[in-house]
Structure 1
């Protein structure tokens, strides 16, 4: 029940304490959680940009419709997708598989060729939609780990990706921003922190067969 208790404690933080900074070890936990998240085929078509720079956070706030969580959070995490997931990207993934598991080429080759063929048939938009779905998997993992580690967070879709991409110069990394997660510690006067969590009754949301 420890995890359930943590999820009950979690809420979308509306006001961070700007003077409370996450310890480096907590940030490291979130980075590792990002990297360990499940993704389709294990391909990880994502990168995480971790920001701890108040001046830069102020710029990003303006590209987030003025939401103060961006500038007051300890850190801002931007979940990005690779602009392209093609043959080279897939080849690199299978290099890691071979290095780490020492899997023979005779086993890897058919799966690798199947993926290359499958992705070769997809349009660029289809690949980016698929990659964005993986970003949401990552967001769920990070929110849960934040709750367990008693790190406050606020998941955000409400920002202007093109402006983020420009401010963070994501083009040079061949990335596009898709989700934002400011993290830190809630302010003592955040009214929303004490409100009861509103959820539909369990019997309305779970079907047992």
Structure 2
């Protein structure tokens, strides 16, 4: 399926069949998320992959009982780092030096710039920035799933504080941001399965400046 056809095919699936997404498809979706764009390449978030049915049932209870949580093959939780620290920057610089075969001294300016950015903002401002980075990855995951003909539903309808407590995310230095279910549409139960996609006309959507 080409990209535009895949994007026309996808929608925020409301009901799923429970069929398991093949591991090779899941791996490609996760790898696309890992390779997603991120400001300065920092990736200040984690992606938690949940397949266990019992755990997903508990998560459903703090996610407005949305059926996709338990009907999906896999649930992805995008969780931003909180707090952001200079130690995380140091780890990132080490990774760059290792992967590119350069000395840490060559990255000093970049390191100081990133640390200065984090230190100039409050912990909450840094979390909001990290959360926005995770949304970029969420979008990449949606596109990747569509190209694999895997249905996906992005979700904000959950109680982040309750989910953080359930999974012990604060102890891991994380705060949940958004969810993504992966699976296959139940066309008989989902009222949107055969609905025509509605998007604004390109003439109304794009603004061309001279």
Q: Give TM-score scaled by structure 2 length.
A: 0.95
Q: Distance in 1 between matches of 2:27 and 2:2?
A: 22
Match of 2:46 in 1: 47
Match of 1:71 in 2: 70
Match of 1:180 in 2: 179
The question of 1:98 aligning with 2:97 is answered yes
C-alpha deviation, 1:166, in angstroms? 1.6
Partner secondary structure for residue 71 of structure 1:
helix
Match of 2:14 in 1: 14
Give the superposed CA RMSD.
1.2
C-alpha deviation, 1:164, in angstroms? 1.0
Deviates more, 1:190-199 or 1:88-97: 190-199
Q: What is the correspondence of 1:164-175 to structure 2 with a 5 Å cutoff?
A: 164-175=163-174
Give structure 1 stretches of 5+ with no counterpart: none
Match of 2:136 in 1: 137
C-alpha deviation, 1:118, in angstroms? 2.1
Q: Distance in 2 between matches of 1:138 and 1:31?
A: 10
Partner secondary structure for residue 155 of structure 2:
coil
Structure 1 stretches of 4+ moved >3 Å: none
Q: Distance in 2 between matches of 1:146 and 1:83?
A: 28
- State the Cα deviation string for residues 117-152 of structure 1 (Å, max 9, x = none): 221121101100100110110111001101111110
C-alpha deviation, 1:171, in angstroms? 2.5
Partner secondary structure for residue 77 of structure 2:
strand
Match of 1:31 in 2: 30
Match of 2:127 in 1: 128
Q: Give TM-score scaled by structure 1 length.
A: 0.96
Count of residues in Structure 1 that have an aligned counterpart in Structure 2: 208
